[in-house]
Structure 1
Amino acid sequence: MEKMPMKQMRKKKILIVDDSEMNRDILTGMLEDEYEIVEAEDGEKAIEIMKEGRFGFSIVLLDITMPKLDGFGVLRVMQEQNWLKELPVIIISAETSNEYIGRAYEMGASDYFSRPFDARIVISRVRNTIALFERDYIDQITGGYNRKAFIRQVAGVLKERETEEYILLFFNIKNFKAINELLGVGGGDKLLQWFYQRILRSKLDPVDMARIESDHFACLIEKKNLDFDYLTEFCDFSYGEEKRQMHIYSTCGVYYIQDETMSITSMIDRAKLAKEYITDEYLKPYTVFKNNMQDTYVDEMEICSEFEDGIAKREFQVFYQPVVDVKTGKIASAEALVRWFHETKGFISPGQFIPALEKGGYISELDRYMVRKVIECLEQRRKESRPAVPVSVNLSWMDFYDENMLEWIVSGLQCGGKEEEKMIRFEITETSLAAIGENHTRMLMRLRENGAKILLDDFGSGYSSFGMLQDYDFDILKIDISFVRNIGVNKKTESILRAIIDMAHQLGIRLVAEGAETEEQVAFLRENGCDYIQGYYYYKPMPQAEFLQLLEEGK
C-alpha cells in the first residue's frame, strides 16, 4: 500500500491575554513554533477578539490581574456567553493563593499555572488541555476532525477571511459498503484513514477537513486551488498492495461559498446535494451546486409524498423491452421497466423518481407492484392460451432488507407451481449484490432454488465481477452497455467481450448484451456467440399492449 506522509493542518491558534508585554513575549517565544499566537493586552480587548473569532481559537491563556477588565471578569463574560463549552482557558498568574486558584476553577478555568514560566510545563499543559478538550471533536478512525469540529473550524475561518474565496467540497467513496465487505471492518477503516490523508496531501491543500460520517468527507479549500482536471484525476485511484490492488472511484460535490450568513451545515448539505446530481461519475466525478438543485430536492420530497396515491390511481405502468435470440431473431424474453404518467405533471422520468423513492424508502413497494403486475399479465396470457415469454423484474438492493417482500416472492414461487410465476426472472446489478452482504444474498439463492432464473445485470461495470461468478450461481449475465458501445471503437474491449462470452459458456451461463444500436455491434455479438441482445437496434421499451401484439405476430 502506498505510504502517505502525515500532512499537518494549519496551526492551532492561541489567544494570550496579559497586560505585561514581557510576559506575552515570553509565552509567545515558547509556543509560536507549534501554534499561531494572537495577543490581547487587557480583558476588554480579549472579549472583543473572541466575539469576532472565538471559533478560531483552540485555547486562551488568561492573566488574572489586569486593568479595565481582569481575568475573573473575562471568565464571567465567557460564562454568560456560553463560550467555555467550546473554548478552554488556562489561568496564568503570579498569584498562587488557594482563594485565587479555587475561584478560577469555580468560574470554569481548565488549568492554572504560575509565573515564572517553565517552557516544558507550559507546552505540555497547553497540549494536554487542548487534547482533552478536543476529544469530542476528533474522529476516532482518521484522527482528524469530526463533523462538529469541522463546523466550528470553518465558521472561524470564514469569520476571519479578508479577500480569500473559499469552496466547500463533499467527497464520498463509491460502493464503500461493498468494499467494506471485501476488506473487512479493519480494512475498511484503513481505507478511510488512507483516503483522509490522500485529500490532505493533495494539491487541493485543504484549509480544514473532516470525515463527516461513514465514507463521507468534507473539506474547505481556497478557490485558487480548485482545478477540475486535477479533481477528475484525483477521484479515480488504486488502493492496496501491488499484487492485490483495488480500483476505486470517489465522487465530489462542489459548493462555492458566497453567503457568509448561511450556516456551515447548510453549506455541507448543498455540496452533498450537488454530488447527487453527478450523471457519469467515470467521466466527470463532480458537480457544482446550483440553486435549481435545491428546487429538485423539494421535488423529490413531493415524489415520495405522491407515490402511494400514484400507485392507487394506476399511474405507474409496466413497459416491456424485448430480448432477442441472436440465432433466430425472435423475441426470447423481456425486461419489465416502470414508467410513471402523473395525472397533472405528465411523464416523470425513472431517472428522477427511482432515486427519490430509494432515498425515501419506497422502492420495495414499487418493486412489489411491478412483480404483481407482471404476474397478472402472465397469468392472463396462460388463461387465454396466448403466446408468452419469460419476463425479468429488477430488484433493488434495498429489497433484500425487506424480508416480508422476499418471503412473499418465495411463497408465490412455491405455491401451486404456477407457470406464470415460474416465468418471472429477477435481475440484480453486481454493485447491489456486493452491497447487500452474505446474509442477504442467501435470499437471492432461495429464489433460484424455487425455480426463478437469476440475471446478473451490468456485468463488468464493477470491480469484483469475476469473483461473483465464483461465489454465486447465475443463469444469465447481462453484459454492461459500456462494452457494447465500444464495439468497433476499442479492440481491447472486443477482446474482453470474446473472453467473457467464452468463459460464460464454459460455466453454463447464457449472455444478454445490453444497448446494441448498430448493425456493426449486432454482427460482432452474433459472430462471437452471444446468446441474446437487448437494445434499440431491435426494440425500444414499449407499453404492454404493443408488446403483446408483437408476441401475437410471432416476432
Structure 2
Amino acid sequence: MSLRAYADRLLQESLREFDRSLQQRRDAAAAAAGALVGGARPLAGGRRAADMSRHRDGYSFEEGAFLAEELGQLREMVEQMACSVSEPDACLLLLSPDFMAPAATVANSTAAPPEPKANGPAEEALRSRLQRLIGTAGPGRAAEDPAGVTHLWQSLGGESYLFLTCPVIDAQGIRIGALGFAYKSPDQPVDVLDRGCHTAARLSAFMLEALRARTTLELDLVVAQKRVQHLRQVAETDQLSGLVNAASFEEKCRPRLQPGQPQAALVLLDVDLFKRVNDLYGHQFGDTYLKTVARALRSAFPEGTLLGRIGGDEFGALVELPSHGRAYLASLLTSCRNAILRATAMLGKPDLGRVSMGASLYPAQAEDFAGLFQLADAALYASKSTGRSTPTVFDEEGHQRFHNQQLSRRFAEALAGRRIVPYFQPIVDLQTGACHSAEVLARWVDPDRGVLPPQNFSAILGDYRLAEEMTRSLMLQALETFCDLRACGAAPPSLSINVTSFDLLNREFVFDVQTALLDAGVDWPALTMEVTEKVMLGEATGQIFRTLEELRMRGAKVALDDFGTGYGGLQHLGSWPIDILKIDRHFVSGLGAGPRNLAVVEALIAIAEKSGFEIVAEGIETPEQLRVLRAAHCTYGQGYLFARPVDAAHLAPAVRGFDLAAIA
C-alpha cells in the first residue's frame, strides 16, 4: 500500500471516529438538557461514560494523565504509517504548550500535554530538534521557524542518522506541534521520505484538531453537567435552613421505604409558639431561630439521616433504626430535644427551643410515605395536646383520634348524619343573674365513644371544607332549637356562634347566614359571631375584615374570643368591627391567687368600658371568682359555676336565670 493511500485510509477512519464521538457528545448534551428541565439524570455508555465519570470525579489537566491514551494512540497510528513506507529508527510527535488552550480554559488549567519518554540517543536528539522547532527547548534557545520539512544528517556514536522534522499546523495556521523521524539507514530516497513526513504531519494536524474539538465538547459537557447538578441541588434545598425542602423531602424518602430496606422512623417536628417569636422579636430573628434549630437537628441525628424543612416552622427526618428500634428512637428524640434547647439558649431570648415531635415506624406501622406521614402527624398532634415540648411515637390505641385521614372520613359521615350537634352554654348577666345569650358549642355524638368535645376532632378542622360545613350545620341546628324554644317562650335572647377564618374568607358566607335567618324567621340582632384573635391578625382591608364589617352592618354583633391570649388583639381594638371582648379563662382561673391576676382582669375590664365594648368573663368555676368579677364590674360571664354546656333538650331550664346570691 502506498503512503498516500495509507494516509487517506487513516484520514477516513479518523473522520468516522470523530463523527461518532461528536454524535455521542450531542446525545449526552441533550440528556443533560433534559435533566435540567425534567429532573432526569443524563445517561451515557461505553468508554465515554467512563471518561465522563473520570471528569466528574475531579479528573484534571494537572494530574498528568490528560489525553495520554488518545495521544498514545495517535502516535501509534503515525508510527504505523511511517513504518508502512520505511523503517524509521525513531518517530516522535511533540505538542506545543498551547495546543489545548481552549479546553484548558474550560477546565481552568494551564498545564501542557504530557510528552512521551525518549528511548535511545536517536530519540533524544530528535526530541531536541522538535523542541527547538516548537519553541520549548528552554531558556536561551531560540525556536526554529521552518515552513516545511527539514532534513539533517547527524553523527551519533559514530553512526550517521537522517533526521526529518516538520511543524504540525492546524487549519488556522497555528503551530500546534512538531513531527520528526530518524533513519540510520533509509531505504527510500530523501525526497520520498520528505513527502511522507509532510503527509504524516498534515494527518497528525487533522487528528489533533479532531481530538481537541472532541475534548473541548466533553469538557463543555462536564461544565453543563456540573451546572445541572448545582441547579438541581438549589432546587432541592431550602435556602434558609440548608436542609432538603418540602418538595424534595418526600421524593428522597421514597427510595428508602422500598421493600427490603432497613427499618426506619419518620419524625415530624414542630417549633412551638413560633408565631409568637416572630411577633415579639421580628421575622429576622425568627429566621435566625429556624437556622439554629436546623443546625441542632444536623448535630443530633446520626449521619445518613434525611433532614428537611417541610413547612414554615416544621421539620422532617427519616432516620434508620437498629434492631432495638423503639428504645433507640425514644432516646434519639430526647437527645434531639435537648440539643435544640442548648443551641437556642445561646440566642439570648426566653422560652426558645420548645418543640413538639411525632414519629411513626417503618415498616411496623406503615409501608409507604403517605401512611407514615399521616401517623407521624397524628403523633405530633397528640404531642401538642399533652402540653407541647414532648416527643411522641404513634400508638394505635391512644392516637387514633388524631389520625386525620380516618378522622376526616368519620367526621364527614357524622356531619351528614347530623351527629355533629350544637350544645349550649348560657352567658349570664353578672349583676342580675339573667341569661343574656347562649354560646353554641360543637359536640360529636359518636355511637362508640359517646359525646366528644372539640379537642377530640380539632386536628381535622384545618380542612376548610369540613370547617365550613360544620359551621353551617351547627348554625342551622341552633336556629331550629332557638325557634322551637321561642315558640314556648323559653329561648335565650340571642345566640353566639363561633366562626372560623375559612367561613369569613368565603365571600358567600354573609348570604348563607342571611338565608338561614330568613328560613328560621330570626333577625340579625339575635346573632353574635365569635372570632379569635388569630383570625384578626390580617389586614383591615382583607376579606375577613370586610366580612365582619358586613355582618355587623346587618345587625349581628362581633365578639373577640379568648381576648388576651393572642399577639395582636390590642392593636385591632381601634380599627376592627368589634362589640364584645371575652376574657380568656386563663385569667379568670387565677383570680384569688394573687393581686397580679386581678390587676390584669381589672385592666381588661377597664379597656372594654372605655372603648365601649361589652365584656364577658369565660371559665367562671368558683364563687370566689364570681365575687371578684362582680366587684370589678364585669358585665357578663359564663362557666361551669352556672351551667355546663347542654344539648337542645336541656337548654330551656338553663336560660331561665340564676340566683347569684345563692351561688355566691
What SS class does the counterpart of residue 292 from structure 1 fall into? coil
Residue 522 (1) aligns with residue 626 (2): yes
Change (3 A) 1:446 1:485: same
Listed as ranges, the matches of 1:178-197 within 5 Å are 190=284, 193-197=287-291
What SS class does the counterpart of residue 252 from structure 1 fall into? strand
Change (3 A) 1:441 1:495: same
TM-fit CA distance, 1:364: 1.0
TM-fit CA distance, 1:450: 0.8
> For each residue in 1:236-258, what CA deviation from the matched residue of structure 2 results, as whole angstroms up to 9, or x when unmatched?
9999xx9xx99989642243777
- 1-side partners of 2:550 and 2:350: how far apart? 30
The Cα RMSD (Å) is 5.0
> For each residue in 1:136-171, what CA deviation from the matched residue of structure 2 results, as whole angstroms up to 9, or x when unmatched?
222245554324665688899999xxxxx9884522
TM-fit CA distance, 1:534: 0.7
Listed as ranges, the matches of 1:498-517 within 5 Å are 498-517=602-621
384, 400, 404: which one aligns with 1:296: 400
- 8 A contact 2:482–2:492 mirrored in 1: yes
Match of 2:294, as an amino acid?
L
Structure 2 segments unaligned to the other structure (5+ residues): 1-43, 72-105, 114-218, 259-263, 320-328, 660-664
Give the match for residue 380 of structure 1: 484
- 8 A contact 1:247–1:463 mirrored in 2: no
- 8 A contact 1:316–1:338 mirrored in 2: yes
- 2-side partners of 1:287 and 1:522: how far apart? 39
- 2-side partners of 1:470 and 1:237: how far apart? 37
- 1-side partners of 2:402 and 2:385: how far apart? 23
Question: TM-score, normalization: structure 1?
Answer: 0.66
Question: TM-score, normalization: structure 2?
Answer: 0.56
- 1-side partners of 2:564 and 2:247: how far apart? 40
* Further displaced range: 305-314 or 422-431: 305-314
TM-fit CA distance, 1:326: 1.0
Residue 542 (1) aligns with residue 652 (2): no
Give the match for residue 299 of structure 2: 205
- 2-side partners of 1:514 and 1:506: how far apart? 20
Listed as ranges, the matches of 1:90-169 within 5 Å are 91=59, 94-96=65-67, 131-147=230-246, 168-169=267-268
- 8 A contact 2:425–2:644 mirrored in 1: yes
TM-fit CA distance, 1:470: 2.5
Identity %: 22
- Between the two proteins, the alignment pairs up a number of residues equal to 451
Match of 1:503, as an amino acid?
I
481, 484, 506: which one aligns with 1:402: 506
- 8 A contact 1:397–1:436 mirrored in 2: no
- 1-side partners of 2:344 and 2:439: how far apart? 32
Change (3 A) 1:315 1:143: closer
TM-fit CA distance, 1:369: 1.5
User: Larger % of strand: which?
Assistant: 1
What SS class does the counterpart of residue 538 from structure 1 fall into? coil
- 2-side partners of 1:235 and 1:529: how far apart? 47
Give the match for residue 60 of structure 1: none
Name the structure, 1 or 2, with higher relative contact order (CA <8 Å, separation 6+).
Answer: 1
> For each residue in 1:182-226, what CA deviation from the matched residue of structure 2 results, as whole angstroms up to 9, or x when unmatched?
79xxx75x4663233121344873456432234422357895583
Residue 352 (1) aligns with residue 451 (2): no
- 8 A contact 2:563–2:569 mirrored in 1: yes
Structure 1 segments unaligned to the other structure (5+ residues): 1-63, 79-83, 101-110, 160-164
Give the match for residue 226 of structure 1: 334
Listed as ranges, the matches of 1:49-60 within 5 Å are none
Change (3 A) 1:269 1:112: farther
Give the match for residue 442 of structure 1: 546
Listed as ranges, the matches of 1:447-462 within 5 Å are 447-462=551-566
What SS class does the counterpart of residue 471 from structure 1 fall into? coil
TM-fit CA distance, 1:498: 1.1
- 2-side partners of 1:289 and 1:303: how far apart? 18
Residue 273 (1) aligns with residue 378 (2): yes
Match of 1:197, as an amino acid?
K
Change (3 A) 1:235 1:487: farther
- 2-side partners of 1:452 and 1:551: how far apart? 21
Change (3 A) 1:157 1:344: closer
- 2-side partners of 1:132 and 1:483: how far apart? 53
TM-fit CA distance, 1:280: 4.9
* Further displaced range: 205-214 or 90-99: 90-99
- 1-side partners of 2:619 and 2:294: how far apart? 41
Match of 1:200, as an amino acid?
A
> For each residue in 1:294-333, what CA deviation from the matched residue of structure 2 results, as whole angstroms up to 9, or x when unmatched?
9626864344334455345443332211111111122221
- 8 A contact 2:436–2:492 mirrored in 1: no
> For each residue in 1:9-56, what CA deviation from the matched residue of structure 2 results, as whole angstroms up to 9, or x when unmatched?
xxxxxxxxxxxxxxxxxxxxxxxxxxxxxxxxxxxxxxxxxxxxxxxx
Pick the structure with greater CA Rg: 2
TM-fit CA distance, 1:436: 8.7
Match of 1:138, as an amino acid?
T
- 8 A contact 1:173–1:216 mirrored in 2: no
